[in-house]
Structure 1
Amino acid sequence: MIERTVAVASAVGLHARPASLFCKAAAQAGVPVTISSASGSSVNASSILGVLSLGVNHGDVVTLSAEGDGAEQALDKLVDLLSVELDAR
């Protein structure tokens, strides 16, 4: 299993638009991806309801994990996505 840790850069955290963009990218990753919050809760990264239930705020650190062919590349792309502001106004 491959893991990456990243601090969420979006000002609103993983809520509404940023969560939607992240979940769509996770669904298109080609491998199952799990996101875990600092509290230890883990959910399927492509599940919008699951991601919203984590209550991830700006600056919170999350861990992404995946397994299989292409997992490293998929996680790298998702880390890059979470490292920028996704709630453009």
Structure 2
Amino acid sequence: MEKRFKITAQEGLHARPCTLLVTAASSFSSDVQLTHNETTVNLKSIMGVMAQGISPGALVTISAKGEDEGAAINRVTEVITTEGIGEEC
């Protein structure tokens, strides 16, 4: 299961939004990943996500695989949209 997002946060994915996303993803047993420019990282790894250097306007794909993948995608989507990090494409 996956969803695409456009990052709308003025600073892109810096420390605060990365922390929110990692915290949301970490509460699920499924593998949750973020893909940007054909590079995929574990969304449960703050260093992996921050290392992507994702800027405003970037398109990212969030994917999840496992027993609670639907709940994981829904929670990450909620964080992205309600915290002003991005919008669904």
Give the TM-score normalised by structure 1. Answer: 0.83
- What fraction of aligned residue pairs are identical, expressed as a percent? 30
CA distance, structure 2, for counterparts of residue 85 and residue 79 of structure 1: 11
What's the counterpart of residue 58 of structure 1?
A: 56
Measure how far apart 1:80 and its partner are.
2.3
What's the counterpart of residue 32 of structure 2?
A: 33
- Paired residues of 2:29 and 2:66 also in contact (CA < 8 A): no
* Pairs aligned (count): 84
What's the counterpart of residue 3 of structure 1?
A: 2
- Deviation above 3 Å: which 4+ runs of structure 1? none
Structure 1, unpaired ranges of 5+: none
Could you say what the CA RMSD is over the residues aligned between the two structures, in angstroms?
1.4
Amino acid at match of 1:76: N
- Paired residues of 1:10 and 1:82 also in contact (CA < 8 A): no
Give the TM-score normalised by structure 2. Answer: 0.83
CA distance, structure 2, for counterparts of residue 14 and residue 7 of structure 1: 11
CA distance, structure 1, for counterparts of residue 80 and residue 56 of structure 2: 10
2:61 aligned counterpart, secondary structure: strand
Structure 2, unpaired ranges of 5+: none
